[in-house]
Every structure is written in C-alpha cells, then in structure tokens.
C-alpha cells in the first residue's frame, strides 16, 4: 500500500468561489484560509451539490455518502444528532462540485435578522438558520453559528462553529 | 478580499508559550505539533483570554463568540453538550491572546491526584478536572482527558482527547 500525506492547497483562489461540473479536489477535502481583511480564519469543505442546486448563503447539511463521486454531499436538513452544516457562499448548479463554508465568518440566511450574539441552529427541512432552542443552559448542542452583528436582514454575517450539532 | 492559505508551520515556537496583548494569529487557528520526545501529537487552539486571566494548567471551556477580536474565547465551565475543553500551559493576563492545548499530553489540575487511566471531566462551574461519573462503561461522552500516570498530586499529566464532550 502506497501512502502519501495529504497537503492540500488551492490551485487557484477562484476555486473557492467557482463550482465545477467535474471534481477538482478530493471530496471531503478541507481548506483553511485567512481573510486578510478581517483577519479571520475560515474553513471550507469540498462537496458535491448532490441533492439539488445550492442557493448561495442557504445552509445545508453535509452527509457522508456511498456513491462514487458523491462521498461527501449536500442534503436538506433532517433530524440527527451529529449534523455538519455547510453554507455555500456562491450558487451551485445541481451535481456540481465546490467548497462550502463550515467554520468561521461567512454570510448565511436566517429566518429573520438576528441580534449580535444570537445562537443559531438548523432544524429539519429548514433552509434558514433560526434561534437554537434546545433546553440546555447554553445551547451549543444545537448551535451551528452565532450572529456577528445585529441586523434586520435575513442574510447576515455569522461565525460558524465548525463542529457537529444536533438538528431537531 | 485577499486570501492567503493557512500554513502556520514555521512560526516561532515561542508563540506557543508567550501570550500577547495584541493578536498574532487568526482566532481559532489550530496548530498541531510533534514533541520529539513523545509518541503522540499535541494540538493547540489560538484563543482570547476573554473572561478573566488564565491560570496555567487550569481547564476552561472555549466558546464561539461574536465580538470582534473575541470570536474564539475562553470561559468558565458551564453546562453544555458540545463543550471544547482547553488547558493553558502558561498563565495568560486577562484579554491576552495565545495558544491553549486541546489535545494530547499536557499538565492539568484535578480535584486530586488520580490513577493512570482514570477518565476525567470538567464539571459545570469547576476549574479542575474530576472523575467522570456517568454510568456509561466508557464515558467518552464526557471524558475530556485521561490521567497518564498515577499520582497523589492535583497538578498532573493527562492526555486531552480534543473532542467535544458533555459538561454536566
């Protein structure tokens, strides 16, 4: 068995924002970049828009798959306790490949505008983030992002946690 | 927006042990190092000591934040189900930035000394690690560390798991 160590870097920066009909990176690849404007760290995951076209800034779950060429793929949110949420920062044509944001500062659609510090989750079948509502004192079990600035706009700036959360 | 690819290797090793009043890395940055005298790796996360000064070897939780310059920050342990536990290996002045350890061999303070192999948790409101107490045969749901060597001393050598756990 030959083994090489994965060391991914982007071929071009545009690969973050231009989905393609054929895969350019291994599915599941994660890329961490630094936005030198905000000095923030953003982590992206390379997936296939397997279930439908992806709408920019709409949150989806990322699922482990078994079909060749769709081993890491988008899906509509379903109830689960270990959900990974990705937010495409551009639109994807159906079955295209590209990077979605999973951690750090990015834009995402909420069910409304929220206040800075509001903890947001992604519930079953929803296409927007909403206030995390589990009963624990600090709802990190269901929190996938936190609103960065108070806004009345559904499209808002959030800080995504990057960890798996509960989807009710 | 200018973007550079994260490649944090090659920075000064002293940055792991010298907190600073101004930020030197994007918050949330993770660095994995190999201690050449050990058989295991260590993982650190760059955070802000946002809630108070940090005492060396005292465990804290790391929380997702929304305030600019404190998007990844320490807090005192509270009840949650997706808790990331960290242990600073040096003292931090309040509001300083630096690396705290989240995985691998390190020194941490317990409620007492423990036996090698004891699984340890960080309880709500506590600043010390204590024995896991749930009925699970192998309490990985709440174990954030395991004691490496039997000792009667509260400040002991542990292996941090690096994964998110339940804090009760």
Label residue B136 by pLDDT band (50, 70, 90).
Answer: low
Of B7, B27, B78, the CB nearest to A138: B78
With a CB cutoff of 8 Å and minimum separation 6, the contacts of B48 are B23, B27, B69, B70, B72, B73, B74, B95, B96, B97
The Cα-based distances of B70 to A12, B151, B168 in angstroms read: 30, 36, 25
- Give the residue, B3 or A66, on which the prediction is more confident: A66
Rounded distance between C-alpha atoms, residue A114 and residue A135, angstroms: 20
Is the CB of residue B64 less than 8 Å away from at least one CB of chain A? yes
Average the pLDDT over each of A14-18, A139-143, B24-28, B43-47 and give the range with the smallest value: A139-143
Does B5 fall in a domain?
no
The answer to whether residue A13 is domain-embedded is: no
Task: Give which of A31, A56, A58 is closest to A42, Cα–Cα.
Answer: A31
CA distance B118 to chain A (A): 26
Give the domain extent around A163.
Answer: 20-167
Contact A41 B1 (CB under 8 A): no
Could you tell me which residues are beta bridge partners of residue A34? A41, B4
Domain count, chain B: 1
Nearest chain A CA: its distance from B37 CA (Å):
22
Which residues from chain B sit within 8 angstroms of residue A41, using beta carbons? 6, 26-29
Whether B82 maps to a domain, the answer reads yes
Domain that holds residue B144: 18-167
A55 occurs within a structural domain: yes
- What's the pLDDT band for A155 if we cut at 50, 70, 90? very high
For the record, the structure tokens of A129 come out as 């983030």
Mean per-residue pLDDT, B39-66: 93
Cβ of A143 within 8 Å of Cβ of B64? The answer is yes
Q: What is the mean predicted confidence (pLDDT) over A56-80?
A: 94
Domain contains A118: yes
Residue B1 falls inside a structural domain: no
Least confident of A120-124, A146-150, B38-42, B133-137: B133-137
Kindly indicate the confidence band of residue B83, based on its pLDDT and cuts at 50, 70 and 90.
confident
Q: Say if residues B146 and B118 touch (Cβ distance below 8 Å).
A: yes
pLDDT bracket for residue B12 (50, 70, 90): low
User: In total, how many domains does chain A have?
Assistant: 1
Mean pLDDT of B107-124: 94
- The closest alpha carbon to A41, from A32, A50, A52, A53, belongs to A32
Would you say residue A12 lies in a domain? no
Decide if B120 contacts B146 (C-beta within 8 A): yes
B/e letters for B64-89, b = 16+ CB within 10 Å, e = fewer, are bbbeeebbbbbbebbebbbbbbbbbb
Establish if A149 belongs to a structural domain: yes
Does the pLDDT of residue A109 top 90, yes or no?
A: yes
- Is residue A37 within 8 A of residue A120, CB to CB? The reply is no
B44, B27 Cβ separation under 8 angstroms? no
Contact B164 A31 (CB under 8 A): no
pTM: 0.87
**Domain contains B10:** no
* B117, part of any domain: yes
B79 to chain A: closest CA residue: A137
Highest mean pLDDT among B71-80, B95-104, B116-125: B95-104
Task: With respect to residue B3, please indicate whether it lies within any of the assigned structural domains.
Answer: no
The CA-CA-CA angle for residues B110, B112, B117, to 5°, reads 75
- CA torsion sign for A60, A98, A8, A107 is negative
């Amino acid at each position: 068995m030959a083994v090489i160590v994965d060391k991914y870097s982007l071929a071009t920066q545009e690969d973050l924002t231009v989905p393609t009909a054929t895969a350019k990176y291994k599915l599941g690849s994660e890329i961490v970049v630094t936005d030198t404007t905000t000095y923030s760290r953003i982590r992206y995951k390379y997936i296939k828009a397997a279930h439908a076209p992806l709408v920019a800034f709409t949150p989806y779950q990322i699922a482990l798959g078994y079909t060749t060429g769709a081993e890491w793929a988008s899906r509509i949110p379903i109830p689960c306790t270990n959900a990974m949420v990705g937010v495409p920062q551009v639109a994807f044509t159906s079955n295209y490949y590209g990077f979605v944001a999973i951690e750090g500062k990015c834009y995402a659609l909420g069910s409304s505008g929220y206040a800075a510090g509001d903890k947001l989750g992604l519930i079953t079948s929803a296409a927007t983030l909403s206030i995390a509502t589990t009963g624990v004192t600090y709802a990190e079990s269901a929190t996938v992002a936190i609103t960065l600035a108070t806004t009345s706009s559904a499209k808002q700036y959030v800080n995504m946690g990057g960890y798996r959360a509960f989807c009710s | 927006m200018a973007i550079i690819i994260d490649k944090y290797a090659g920075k000064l090793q002293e940055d792991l042990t010298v907190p600073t009043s101004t930020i030197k890395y994007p918050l949330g940055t993770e660095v994995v190092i190999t201690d050449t005298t050990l058989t295991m790796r260590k993982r650190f996360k760059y955070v802000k000591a946002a809630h108070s000064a940090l005492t060396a070897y005292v465990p804290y939780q790391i929380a997702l934040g929304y305030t600019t310059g404190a998007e990844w920050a320490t807090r005192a342990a509270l009840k949650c189900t997706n808790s990331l536990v960290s242990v600073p290996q040096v003292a931090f002045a309040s509001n300083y930035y630096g690396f705290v350890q989240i995985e691998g061999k390190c020194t941490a303070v317990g409620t007492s000394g423990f036996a090698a192999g004891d699984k340890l948790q960080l309880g709500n409101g506590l600043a010390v690690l204590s024995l896991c107490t749930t009925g699970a045969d192998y309490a990985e749901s709440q174990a954030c560390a395991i004691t490496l060597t039997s000792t009667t001393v509260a400040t002991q050598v542990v292996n941090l798991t690096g994964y998110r756990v339940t804090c009760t």
